[in-house]
Chains A and B, each alone.
Chain A
């Protein structure tokens, strides 16, 4: 691990994929290539969003990086070390609720630290600090069933950040939330990211979300990466930047990738 922490003391890492592929055998017997051939490099600290239509292999790609699935071909390197199974260095926020319903909020947030053998007093203190940062300090003794969907996402985010991962993976984490809650959680996520600067790989199908968050946006279609664009929009970003000339240009191009050519031409999808 050469770049465990960079000069500034942040925990971050370079994430590199070399010709990664993954296929599944369907129950009918035919082989499906969910991820056909993906190569990319995410630099330390970079916030990268991946967008693509549903069924394009986004989630499979994320599971490969997380180590939950083995690759069929190619390899995944974190700071040059090949990925072999899950690791707390690669934190994952799931699309569906992953918060353990049988643990109180604070125990959820401290779970990763407990797995790493941190003594109770210490891990509770860290978990409490992160719950405070996501605005859940007041419900640390609550059961997850008592929380709303947005609050559960906050717990999941706090849990992952408490574990101080070098790489943070997010699989359409806010897709099920309403618009306002989603914008609030973007702020929560960006604030935590600014404080610890891990490398972020964020999957979404929401073009606006990607434009609000990312340094770079990748587009995936049918198991391949088909676009890679750097987003130079200034931070902090607000919803208004989507109306800037650069924002509109990116959005148009991205929507075209998602199959909205017709609508873009007709002007329907213009912001």
Chain B
């Protein structure tokens, strides 16, 4: 917490000490007093009107209500693209990853294409997706799904490979069939190892969705950033960045909570208890 306050203070000092402007009248380092008044208010430009608040395009004036609605509706659009892509990518990526170990045929089917797809640089594919799908919801969702999917694929293949074979042998001698082994042994045993891939996937999902919106979405948080760039509105870009930060933090904390519950069975790790590590070092 103290760290955050320190960073915020540092930003404020920069806003006072550094007088650069991106375009005349738009400071490179807008202070908090600007961000939470003028900047916040200006986001109501992105409200199309409705719900009793007139949009700027219809001749309304800037209001906090309009700004709030603009943030909410943009966030909604972005989140929808993000989470639908995330879920789709996680499901397809994990299934394909499991397919590598399922049988010789599924391995032939998915292993090589998976490895090849994995190596394409994600952002270089943005124009391709744009040409294929235009500026549609499906296009952006699939782009996110692709970015997330390859990470889940790699993570799953690796996690399955690291499961001690004794658990699978044990399940087999107790009478478990292949489906039962995947359900009750492989899925729970690979989860701890998959955790880092999931975190990585969450990060990529945010990058991918904003990246997809850069290229001409009509709504969404990424679109606000692009629009702001044209006019040198550093303050708006920064504010949207902060909003994204808050969302990412919320997503991570929900995931952390869920994952702690799913790994309740695991031995307590040193990493969870810095005090233990400290004594180990001092010894």
Contact = CB atoms under 8 A, between A and B. Distances in A.
B111 interface: no
B21 interface: no
B205 to A, nearest CB: 27
B175 A94 contact: no
A144 B169 contact: no
Contact of B175 (A98, A112, A143, A145): A112
Contact of B171 (A66, A111, A160): A111
Given A102-B188, A115-B180, A159 B166 contact: no
Interface stretch (B60-68, B72-80, B221-229, B264-272): B264-272
Nearest to A90: B173
A145 B269 CA distance: 12
A90 B184 CA distance: 21
Given A101-B266, A115-B180, 17 more contacts: A66-B169, A86-B169, A86-B172, A88-B173, A92-B170, A98-B166, A98-B167, A100-B189, A101-B265, A101-B267, A102-B188, A111-B176, A115-B171, A115-B175, A143-B264, A143-B265, A160-B174
B185 interface: yes
B40 to A, nearest CB: 47
A236 B130 CA distance: 80
B177 interface: yes
Nearest to A91: B173
A177 B185 CA distance: 26
A76 to B, nearest CB: 14
Interface in A58-73: 66-68
Given A102-B188, A115-B180, A145-B267, A88 B174 contact: yes
Interface string A85-113: 11110111010111011111000000110
A102 B171 CA distance: 13
Q: How large is the interface on A (under 10, 10 to 19, 20 to 34, 35 or more residues)?
A: 20 to 34
A24 to B, nearest CB: 16
A204 interface: no
B174, B185, B264, B266 interface centre (most CB from chain A within 10 Å) = B174
A86 B177 CA distance: 10
B171, B175, B267 interface centre (most CB from chain A within 10 Å) = B175
A100 B167 contact: yes
Given A94-B170, A98-B169, A102-B189, A115 B265 contact: no
Interface of B: 166-167, 169-177, 180, 184-185, 188-189, 264-267
Contacts of A25: none
Contacts of A115: 171, 174-177, 180
B266 A163 contact: no
A68 B177 CA distance: 13
Contacts of A111: 171, 174, 176, 184
Contacts of B175: 86-88, 112, 115-116, 163
Nearest to A89: B175
Contact of A145 (B170, B174, B176, B265): B265
A115 B170 CA distance: 12
Contacts of B180: 115
A111 B185 CA distance: 11
Contacts of A96: 166
A87 B173 CA distance: 5
B104 to A, nearest CB: 16
A233 B184 CA distance: 44
Contacts of B265: 101-104, 143-145
A148 to B, nearest CB: 13
Contacts of B166: 94, 96-98
A119 to B, nearest CB: 16
A112 B267 contact: no
27 contacts: A66-B169, A66-B173, A68-B173, A86-B169, A86-B172, A87-B175, A88-B173, A91-B174, A92-B170, A92-B173, A94-B169, A97-B166, A98-B169, A100-B167, A100-B185, A101-B265, A101-B267, A102-B265, A103-B188, A103-B265, A112-B175, A115-B171, A143-B264, A143-B265, A159-B174, A160-B174, A163-B174
Nearest to A156: B170
Nearest to B167: A100
A131 B94 CA distance: 36
B186 to A, nearest CB: 11
A96 B165 CA distance: 11
B176 to A, nearest CB: 4
